[in-house]
Amino acid sequence: MADHFALKPGNKVKLKEFDPDFHESYNKESAIAEADSLQEKMWDLQEKLYAQSTQSLLIVFQAMDTGGKDGAIKKVFEGINPQGVRVTAFKAPTLVELNHDFLWRVHPHAPPKGYIGIFNRSHYEDVLVVRVNNLVPRKIWEKRYDHINNFERLLADNGTRIVKFFLHISKDKQKKRLQARLDNPDKNWKFSTGDLPVREQWDDYMAAYEAALTRCNTDYAPWYVVPANRKWYRDLFITRVIAETLEDMKPVFPPPEVGLDKVVIPD
Question: Distance between alpha carbon 233 and the CA centroid of its chain, in Å?
Answer: 16
- pLDDT of the residue at 2: 61
- pLDDT of the residue at 112: 97
Below-50 pLDDT ranges, the chain: 1
Q: What is the mean pLDDT of the chain?
A: 95
**What's the rounded Cα separation, in Å, for the pair 107 and 29?**
39
Q: Where are the alpha helices (DSSP H) in 17-160?
A: 28-52, 69-76, 95-98, 129-132, 138-157
Three-class SS of residue 42? helix
> Which of 113, 117, 116 has the alpha carbon at shortest distance from 54?
113
Q: Are 58 and 161 in contact (CB under 8 A)?
A: yes
CATH code reported for the domain at 2-249? 3.40.50.300
- pLDDT of the residue at 195: 81
Burial of 212 (0-12, 13-18, 19+ CB in 10 A): buried
What are the two backbone dihedrals, phi and then psi, of residue 171, each rounded to the nearest 5 degrees? -65, -35
The pTM of the full predicted model, rounded to 2 decimals, is 0.95
For the chain, what are the domain ranges? 2-249
pLDDT tens-digit profile of 209-262?
999 999 999 999 999 999 999 999 999 999 999 999 999 999 999 998 888 888
Give the full edge-to-edge strand order of the sheet including 116-120: 85-89, 116-120, 56-63, 160-168, 223-227
